[in-house]
């Protein structure tokens, strides 16, 4: 089945789903009050320079100060009068060919480049995630429909997914011939086989956008927004809508008109593929997206064979465990293990993309005895990851059956965006047992009695469940404590207490 883009609007929330072969491949959400900032260009003010971390905090007008590493600073853009360079931003299209942004040999220290109170033009490379502020770069990259414009970089790159040498030469020669001196471009995948008129129009549009950014930087004071990237729907059109997408279905008339207008200017040949949904049922129900979303948020993900994945998030990394589950195979243990692992590869890559997992990821495949089996699973994993637009780095399967990999992420994962920690367990997923709490309370009773020798009684406020246990299963222990301290212990049940909450005081 071909790809489809489904757009749902509910109040201020807009959701865009990319369906690939009838399966949810990507989900992006904008709720108005917490939309992403990646791609926005700001005039920021340096509020603190940290020599020990070789980084600086920059105020760009968000709730938390943003973070700028020394390796993301291009010296010639620290003021608007100098605009030449050789490095490429990490913010460019993620499937493109470009050198990485890293500190150059002999690069000055952060304290030699920035000072507190200094104004600087920056772009958001990574949204605020958890307690961390946004990550910034001075390597500006402005994505268009066909090209990514890099005004600080004299470099022309071609997407690796454009494989024909003749087409790569045609595109490179055209861009080299038409770009301004000192400016760079990345040719995106959708540029393949496009007429030169469309590419030139995109180049002119991006150059005018950069000119407006420069002018705004001269006229405004920090912190201020100089350029905002497109909203969610138009970004999806720009980044996802190509010849492989059969249609886009929108359930809101205003958004539909906006999409049609945008496409008439940028991709008129695909304009007729946009449709307004007129059904009575919610559009995500009709296309089966809601079921896929619910499935993607679960800790356990079942495979068709009966095996399953267990996905756990820790502070440092994401762990994915592969289990055979109900699958018993038919010939040998090694063959059963190989089949389960191969099936798991496709689901793992799908979940990485759908949940927008990032950082360090550990995949624990079922142990395989044969080296040939391990090589086959690793080869299939590498091939499957080529479909992922995010940059990944994968190490070979270890003798323990583990795969270590990293995946670049610039936004919150789907689970953290749509879910929150349950207050009862504070996000741990477990609570201390009732018996453990009873003994904690009895020890606290002894401490309180020791601190207040003149008190006649010790009072315990706790939950009804703990109170019942103290007066039933732990009653002998409670009596023993009373005899030891020589005072009465009064237990009171309070229904509004947290399951682990209790109070002990003496009077």
Reported as a single tens digit per residue, the pLDDT across 328-376 is: 766 788 888 889 999 999 999 999 988 888 889 999 999 888 889 999 9
DSSP string, 291-339: HHHHHHT-SEEE-TTS-EEEEEE-SSEEEEEEE-TT---SS-HHHHHHH
Return the SS3 of 61. coil
Taking the complete model, does pTM exceed 0.75, yes or no? no
C-alpha dist (Å) from residue 120 to 58, 66, 207, 443: 9, 12, 20, 58
- Is residue 257's pLDDT more than 50? yes
pLDDT of residue 101: 39
Average pLDDT on 163-188 reads 89
Average pLDDT on 279-288 reads 89
Beta strands in 159-270 (DSSP E): 184-187, 224-227, 245-250
Average pLDDT on 95-118 reads 65
Where in the chain are the domains?
3-34+233-290, 41-227, 298-418, 434-506
Average pLDDT score, the chain: 84
pLDDT of residue 75: 62
C-alpha span between 278 and 456 (Å, rounded)? 74
Q: What is the pLDDT of residues 296-317, one digit of tens each?
A: 778 888 898 888 999 988 878 8
Task: Fold for 41-227, please state it.
Answer: OB fold (Dihydrolipoamide Acetyltransferase, E2P) (2.40.50)
For 451, counting Cβ atoms within 10 Å of its Cβ (0-12 exposed, 13-18 middle, 19+ buried), the class is: exposed
pLDDT of residue 327: 79
Q: What is the pLDDT of residues 448-488, one digit of tens each?
A: 999 999 999 999 999 999 999 999 888 899 999 999 999 99
Domains 3-34+233-290 and 41-227 share a fold: no
Average pLDDT on 498-504 reads 92
Q: Does domain 434-506 have CATH number 3.40.1260.20?
A: yes
- Is residue 395's pLDDT more than 80? yes
- Of the pLDDT bands very low, low, confident and very high (cuts 50, 70, 90), residue 56 is very high
- Of the pLDDT bands very low, low, confident and very high (cuts 50, 70, 90), residue 238 is confident
C-alpha dist (Å) from residue 309 to 241, 254, 333, 347, 468: 31, 41, 19, 8, 39
Average pLDDT on 80-94 reads 34
- Is residue 411's pLDDT more than 80? no
Both tokens of 403, joined, read: 């795969």
Is residue 229 within 8 A of residue 40, CB to CB? The reply is yes
Sign of CA dihedral 473, 479, 481, 487: positive
Q: Which of 40, 366, 54, 335 is nearest to 216 (CA)?
A: 40
Span of 26-35, 313-322, 386-395 with lowest mean pLDDT: 26-35
- Of the pLDDT bands very low, low, confident and very high (cuts 50, 70, 90), residue 226 is very high
Q: Does domain 3-34+233-290 have CATH number 1.10.287?
A: no
Q: What is the pLDDT of residues 176-199, one digit of tens each?
A: 998 888 889 999 888 888 888 888
pLDDT of residue 78: 53
pLDDT of residue 98: 39
Pick the residue with more confidence: 420 or 136?
A: 136
Is residue 376 within 8 A of residue 368, CB to CB? The reply is no
């Amino acid at each position: 089945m071909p790809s489809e883009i489904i757009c749902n609007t509910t109040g201020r929330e807009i959701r865009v789903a990319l369906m690939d072969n009838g399966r949810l491949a990507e989900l992006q959400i904008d709720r108005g009050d917490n939309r992403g900032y990646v791609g926005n260009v700001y005039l920021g003010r340096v509020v603190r320079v940290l020599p020990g971390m070789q980084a600086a905090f920059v105020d760009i007008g968000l709730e938390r100060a943003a973070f700028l590493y020394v390796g993301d600073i291009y010296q010639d853009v620290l003021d608007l009068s100098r605009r030449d360079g050789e490095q490429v931003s990490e913010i460019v299209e993620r499937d493109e060919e470009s050198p990485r942004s890293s500190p150059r040999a002999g690069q000055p220290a952060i304290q030699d480049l920035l000072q507190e109170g200094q104004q600087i033009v920056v772009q958001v490379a990574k949204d605020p995630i958890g307690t961390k502020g946004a990550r910034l770069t001075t390597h500006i990259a402005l994505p268009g429909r066909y090209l990514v414009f890099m005004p600080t970089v004299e470099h022309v790159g071609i997407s690796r997914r454009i494989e024909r040498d003749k087409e790569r030469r045609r595109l490179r020669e055209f861009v080299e011939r038409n770009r301004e001196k000192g400016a760079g471009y990345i040719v995106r995948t959708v540029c393949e086989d496009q007429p030169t008129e469309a590419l030139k129009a995109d180049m002119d549009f991006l150059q005018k956008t950069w000119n407006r950014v420069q002018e705004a930087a001269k006229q405004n004071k920090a912190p201020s927004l100089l350029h905002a990237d497109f909203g969610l729907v138009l970004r999806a059109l720009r980044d996802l809508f190509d010849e492989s997408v059969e249609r886009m279905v929108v359930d809101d008339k205003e958004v539909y008109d906006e999409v049609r207008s945008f496409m008439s200017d940028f991709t008129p040949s695909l304009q007729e593929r946009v449709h307004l949904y007129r059904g009575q049922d919610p559009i995500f129900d009709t296309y089966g997206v809601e079921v896929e979303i619910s499935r993607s948020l679960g800790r356990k993900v079942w495979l068709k064979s009966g095996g399953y994945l267990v996905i756990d998030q820790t502070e440092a990394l994401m762990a994915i465990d592969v289990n055979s589950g109900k699958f018993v195979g038919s010939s040998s243990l090694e063959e059963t293990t190989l089949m389960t692992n191969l099936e798991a590869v496709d689901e793992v890559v799908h979940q990485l993309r759908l949940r927008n997992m990032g950082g360090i990821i550990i995949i624990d495949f079922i142990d395989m005895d044969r080296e040939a089996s391990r090589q086959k699973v690793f080869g299939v994993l590498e091939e499957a990851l080529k479909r992922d637009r995010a940059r990944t780095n994968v190490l070979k399967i270890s003798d323990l059956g583990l795969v270590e990999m990293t995946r670049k992420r610039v936004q919150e994962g789907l689970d953290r965006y749509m879910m929150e920690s349950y207050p009862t367990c504070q996000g741990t997923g477990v609570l201390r047992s009732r018996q453990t709490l009873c003994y904690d309370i009895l020890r606290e009773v002894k401490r309180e009695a020791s601190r207040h020798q003149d008190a006649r009684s010790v009072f315990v406020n706790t939950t009804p469940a703990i109170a019942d246990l103290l007066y039933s299963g732990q009653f002998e222990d409670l009596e023993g404590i009373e005899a030891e301290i020589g005072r009465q212990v009064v237990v009171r049940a309070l229904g509004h207490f947290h399951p682990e909450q209790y109070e002990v005081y003496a009077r």
